[in-house]
Amino acid sequence: MRPFTFERVRTPAEAAAAAARHPGAKFVAGRTNLLDLMKLEIETPTHLIDVNGLALDKIEPTADGGLRIGALVRNTDLAADERVRRDYGVLSRALSAGASGQLRNMATTAGNLLQRTRCPYFYDTNQPCNKRVLGSGCGAIDGFSRQHAVVGISDACIATHPSDMAVALRVLDAVVETVGPDGSTRNIPIAEFHRLPGDQPHIDTVLRTGELITAVTLPKPAGGAQIYYKVRDRASYAFALVSVALVVQKDGTGRVALGGVAHKPWRVEAAEAELPKGAKAVAAFLLADAKPTDQNAFKLKLVERTLAAALAQAKGAQL
Amino acid sequence: MSKVSLTVNGQACDLELDNRTTLLDALREHLHLTGTKKGCDQGQCGACTVIAGGHRINSCLTLAVMHQGDSITTIEGLGTPEKLHPMQAAFVKCDGFQCGYCTPGQICSAVAMLDEVKAGIPSHVTADLTSHPQLTTDEIRERMSGNICRCAAYSNIIEAISEVGRGEI
């Protein structure tokens, strides 16, 4: 690990000032991914700003009947919150499907959104990776690509976003609240928060330098049956091969987002009109532009089958 | 270098550490509490599990300087050879280990995990999100998935945790 200086801050203004003073700084909260990457010298901040002292650990109702989740709310606490369990089941389920008990106790809402891909070529500094070193190439495209993305890919990168939580937030139309180094705030719809790789795969999100996530807001409850269905290589503590976040109403209308298939949570709103026709039609629409490798082409069929299983589970929940 | 004050197993500790020192290395190399083990050093095996402020965490994935004022419990703080913690006694009784390397992490994890169930925190296998979770074998398996046992003593580990959960030991 490279040496760094360290400070604790108490307010978003202090955090912003610290980031402005130290161009090579990173905010740190849950540590579960950043510290890993620092040990491998993939992340090399010269200064760490510990934001855990900020009062951003509450879940509060909003004026329009939704919830405002503080950036520092731990994954365990968010999954266990009574309102989240009752009104946003897909979010509670997605959180419980991710990581381990120990990691969920550390990981924060904002940090979960900002975690980096788990592409093995990104982690192996002996391998080419455009996300790690832009212009070095992609080891995965002609390499071992079973885990990798099938839609929204580019010639530069086929990495997936690893978060389960983000897939649920996408289907719930969450909004990411931030504060910039100059004190200005923005509300970023989750659909626009994560980027596709294009020719700049080293940039994961639209956050600007020194911009800090303060909260994630959920609109008023969507109702319906809410399902998070995750398929992985072992029954627990593994990243998704494919996951489906689903909200279905009694009349058959609904929303669906996919994990494990793209550089961001994958949702195509127009595909949702196909929901009454069943999984095959929706999957075909969602993956119309898919460009899988030989090794991950199985994900196309797996999406259809996982969605079918999620729809069946939703039907069972509505009986 | 930074100064950090924390309480470990009830004892106040003042340390001056390189910022890069993980909590795990601070416990083992600076406080000489070698019960907590370093396995993968990347949060995948759970051997380094300790209880910080009542919550189980991977001590390899956190910096000691980020624990200013925190209260940490390691395996050395749960019980003593003369007076074992019920979870330690259950692991001995049920033969919940072979080589023993993952055991301190398994025991710290299990103790805090039972508190999570008591607090009603749901898991991936909890059938109904709106009811209080029950301590079934499936729940224990899922909730302990962050602790790997290379010797595969899992069936006896589950038996030990079940006994403590039922209040039998």
Instruction: Give the model confidence (pLDDT) of A251-308 as tens digits.
Output: 999 999 999 999 999 999 999 999 999 999 999 999 999 999 999 999 999 999 999 9
What local confidence, expressed as pLDDT, does residue B168 receive? 78
Q: What is the DSSP string of chain B?
A: -EEEEEEETTEEEEEEE-TT-BHHHIIIIIS--TTS--SSSSSSS-TTEEEETTEEEEGGGSBGGGGTT-EEE-HHHH--SSS--HHHHHHHHHT--SS-TTHHHHHHHHHHHHHHHHTT---TT-S-TTS-----HHHHHHHTTTS--TT--HHHHHHHHHHHHTT--
Reported as a single tens digit per residue, the pLDDT across A177-219 is 999 988 999 999 999 999 999 999 999 999 999 999 999 999 9
Q: Which of helix, strand or coil describes residue A134?
A: coil
- Whether the per-residue pLDDT at A50 is higher than 70: the answer is yes
Q: Which of B77, B105, B122 is the last residue of a domain?
A: B77
Q: Does one domain contain both B73 and B30?
A: yes
By three-state DSSP, how is residue A40 classified?
Answer: coil
Task: Using CB atoms, pick whichever of B61, B66, B121 lies closest to residue A36.
Answer: B61
- Give the helix/strand (H/E) hosting A272: none
ipTM over 0.95: yes
Same domain, B98 and B139: yes
Band (A95; pLDDT cuts 50, 70, 90) = very high
Chain A nearest-CA residue for B132: A80
Quick one: closest CA in A to B119, which residue?
A80
**A1, A2, A100: which to substitute to probe chain B, counting the most B Cβ within 10 Å?**
A100
Indicate the pTM of the whole model: 0.98
pLDDT of the residue at A309? 98
Last residue of a domain, one of B77, B110, B139: B77
| CA end-to-end distance (rounded Å), chain A | 54
Q: In chain B, what residues touch A236 (CB-CB under 8 Å)?
A: 124, 141-142, 145
pLDDT, tens digit, for every residue of B27-51? 999 999 999 999 999 999 999 999 9
Interface touch A101/B56, C-beta < 8 Å: yes
CB < 8 Å to B20, chain A? 1, 3-4
φ, ψ (nearest 5 deg) of residue A30: -80, -30
Contacts of A235 in chain B (CB under 8 A): 142, 145
If asked whether residues B144 and B122 sit together in one domain, one would say: yes
CA of B50 to nearest chain A CA: how many angstroms apart? 9
Q: Indicate if B124 and B91 belong to the same structural domain.
A: yes
What is the total count of domains within chain B?
2
How far apart CA B90 and CA B85 sit, in angstroms, is 9
Are B71 and B99 part of one and the same domain?
no
Angle at A2 between CA A120 and CA A74, to 5 degrees: 65
Tell me which residue range forms the domain holding B143: 86-165
Question: Could you tell me if B57 and B96 lie in one domain?
Answer: no
Count CB atoms within 10 A of the CB of residue A283: 25
Residue B147 belongs to domain with CATH number: 1.10.150.120
Cβ pair A145, A293 in contact under 8 A: yes
Query: Which of B30, B53, B77 is the C-terminal boundary of a domain?
Result: B77
Angle B101-B102-B105 from CA coordinates, rounded to 5°: 125
Given a cut of 80, whether residue A319 has pLDDT beyond it is no
- Residue B145 has its nearest CB partner, among A8, A52, A236, at A236
User: Are B45 and B96 within one domain?
Assistant: no
Q: Are residues B69 and B20 in the same domain?
A: yes
**Per-residue pLDDT averaged across A96-120, rounded?**
98
Residues B47 and B15 in one domain: yes
Do residues B60 and B102 both lie within one domain? no
Domain CATH code at residue B17: 3.10.20.30
Low-confidence ranges of chain B (pLDDT < 70): none
What integer pLDDT is reported at residue A317 of this predicted model?
Answer: 84
- Mean pLDDT across chain A, nearest whole number? 97
Regarding whether B37 and B92 lie in a shared domain, the answer is no
**Same domain membership, residue B60 and residue B39:** yes
